[in-house]
């Protein structure tokens, strides 16, 4: 009974991590730290190694399960999955019906995340400033040059899953943020929402399976490289990462996707967009863009909510860390 209750508790904590992972700018890793399971989480992932594979291939399933802390990982994954599935439809609706406010909320989240990363870096000199500038330029260039519509091919879905999962071990950055940069956040949320609704079940199931396989490959392969990078050049890596996040804010500017804003405010244009396969001609977008409501006040309010949400989470994490060290 004690083990069952522990697994239920881990599932609930996993649900909290999943809720954070759905929101760009809120790190699921930070939530895991606040919940007191970060060390066990990272340690369990690290235990999925060649020794574990050897046990699995030899049919030593009980030893394998114990080696990787399977009950903990399974409970955590179930909680994350429940939360992601529950919130995917909500995020899809918010991005479709309230794009300005939703992107403003994301903007505030990401601004706060970058600030907390920079605050954790000491010993600033010219070299560190140059690295920060390099990161900012890199973020702007990638986000400016990357198309709004990225490939929907399974190879790109696989790559997106592999890259997004690596954000789980980076402080202050989330997998959803990586999906935003790759132009696949709304696409993956839509696939999850449609899968739950039974729309194009087989197709969406295949897409999410490929995404999941990419995530597994990423956490087993890329995460080791990131651990190695952080172990040797942690300060330099975090500075470039913070700069990249700041530069990538051009991607989440609330009024960046004018097509989404136009379709959300003009039902007739939304119907036209659906009939054209979800893409509007540039001249129609420009014509209606002159008459949109920019919702500046509400955008500013939601940006502040996002900013203070991350601030509260980060301060809570630091308070817990200070108590542990004391």
Q: Where are the alpha helices (DSSP H) in 218-289?
A: 223-247, 258-265, 267-275, 282-289
3-state DSSP assignment of residue 41? helix
Distance CA 133, CA 239 (A): 9
Average pLDDT, the chain: 81
Report pTM. Answer: 0.74
Rounded to an integer, the average pLDDT of 252-262 is: 83
- Of the ranges 42-51, 127-136, 151-160, which one carries the lowest mean pLDDT score? 42-51
- Of the ranges 71-75, 101-105, 215-219, 228-232, which one carries the lowest mean pLDDT score? 228-232
Rounded to an integer, the average pLDDT of 58-81 is: 89
Distance CA 91, CA 111 (A): 20
Give the chain's largest Cα–Cα span: 67
Distance CA 184, CA 158 (A): 11
Q: Higher model confidence: residue 183 or residue 223?
A: 183
Give pLDDT tens digits for 285-318: 777 778 888 889 999 999 999 899 888 877 777 7
Asked if residue 147 has pLDDT above 60, the reply is no
Give domain limits for the chain: 1-85, 106-252
Q: Where are the alpha helices (DSSP H) in 50-125?
A: 50-57, 61-67, 70-97, 99-119
Count of other CB atoms within 10 angstroms of residue 125: 7
Q: How far apart are the first and last CA of the chain?
A: 33
pLDDT at 304: 94
Asked if residue 276 has pLDDT above 70, the reply is no
pLDDT at 133: 92
Count of other CB atoms within 10 angstroms of residue 313: 21
């Amino acid at each position: 009974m004690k083990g069952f209750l522990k697994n239920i508790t881990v599932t609930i904590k996993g649900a909290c991590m999943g809720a954070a992972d759905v929101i760009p700018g809120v790190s699921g890793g930070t939530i895991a730290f606040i919940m007191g399971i970060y060390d066990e989480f990272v340690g369990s992932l690290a235990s999925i190694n060649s020794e574990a594979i050897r046990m699995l291939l030899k049919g030593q399933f009980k030893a394998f399960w114990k080696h990787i802390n399977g009950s903990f990982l399974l409970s955590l994954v179930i909680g994350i999955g429940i939360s992601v599935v529950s919130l995917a439809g909500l995020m899809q609706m918010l991005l479709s019906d309230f794009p300005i406010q939703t992107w403003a909320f994301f903007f505030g989240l990401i601004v706060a995340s970058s600030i907390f990363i920079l605050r954790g870096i000491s010993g600033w000199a010219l070299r560190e400033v140059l690295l920060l500038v390099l990161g900012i330029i890199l973020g702007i260039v990638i986000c400016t040059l990357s198309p709004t519509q990225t490939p929907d091919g399974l190879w790109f879905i696989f790559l997106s899953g592999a890259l997004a999962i690596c954000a789980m071990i980076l402080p202050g950055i989330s997998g959803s943020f990586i999906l935003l940069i790759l132009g696949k956040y709304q696409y993956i949320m839509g696939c999850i929402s449609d899968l739950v609704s039974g729309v194009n079940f087989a197709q969406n199931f295949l897409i999410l399976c490929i995404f999941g396989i990419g995530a597994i490959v990423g956490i087993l392969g890329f995460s080791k490289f990131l651990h190695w990078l952080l172990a040797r050049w942690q300060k330099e890596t975090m500075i470039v990462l913070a700069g990249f996040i700041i530069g990538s804010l051009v991607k989440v500017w609330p009024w960046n996707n004018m097509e989404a804003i136009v379709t959300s405010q003009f039902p007739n244009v939304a119907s036209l967009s659906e009939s054209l396969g979800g893409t509007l001609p540039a001249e129609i977008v420009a014509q209606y863009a002159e008459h949109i409501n920019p919702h500046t006040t509400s955008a500013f309010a939601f940006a502040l909510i996002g900013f203070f949400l991350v601030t509260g989470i980060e301060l809570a994490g630091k308070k817990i860390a200070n108590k542990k060290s004391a």
